[in-house]
Copies of this chain bind each other. A is one copy, B any other.
Amino acid sequence: MIETPDDTPSPSLSEADALPPSEQHAQQYAAVRNAHETELLEDYVELIGDLIAHQGEARSADIALRMGVSQATVSKMVGRLKSLGLVASKPYRSLFLTEEGEAMARMSRQRHAIVLQFLRALGVSDDTARIDAEGMEHHVSQETLDAMQRFTRLQSGEG
C-alpha cells in the first residue's frame, strides 16, 4: 500500500507545492550543512580582521567578549584557524591574519556590508538588520548578493 503516488494528493498547500526531486532536495540541504562548516570560521576571521582594523590588534580576551564565549573556546578555535592557515600567532601573543585569512576577512566583511545595507534599504530597523545580517550572510549566494546590491543602489538613487 501507499506506494508513493504520482498524482498530487493534497490540495491544501497554497505555495511551495510539489517537493523537488530527491537529489536536488538533498543538494540543497548539503549546501546548508556545508555553509555551516565554514560559517564560524568566517565569523572568527572577520572579527579578528575588524579588531585589528579598529583597535590595532586582536586579543583572545576581546574575541571571547564579543563572541560571548569563554576564552578557552576561543583558544581552541584559534588553534583550528592556525592549523587551517588562516591565522598566525605566537603563544600568549595577539593574533594576525595570514594572506589567506585576510582574503577571507575581506570577502566576509564585504558580504556582511551588502546584506546589512540591503536590509536597511528594505526598511528593516537597524537593530534587527544587524542581527539578521549576521545570520544570513553565510547563506547568500553571489547571485543573490548581486540582486541585493542592485536593489540597494536603486533605492538610494531614487530615495
Interface residues of A, Cβ cutoff 8 Å to B: 2, 4-5, 8-10, 12-16, 18-20, 22, 24-32, 35-36, 43, 50-51, 53-57, 62, 65-69, 109, 112-113, 116-117, 119, 122-125, 128-132, 134-136, 138-141, 143-144, 147-148, 150-151
CB-based contact B20/A130 at 8 Å: yes
State how many copies of this chain the complex holds: 2
CB-based contact A122/B136 at 8 Å: no
In-complex Cβ contact of A15 among B30, B113, B125 (8 A): B113
Q: Looking at chain A's contact residues, is the secondary structure mostly helix, strand, loop, or mixed?
A: helix
Q: Which residues of B are found within 8 Å of A123, using beta-carbon distances? A: 147, 150
How far, in angstroms, from A152 to B4 measured CA to CA in the complex? 34
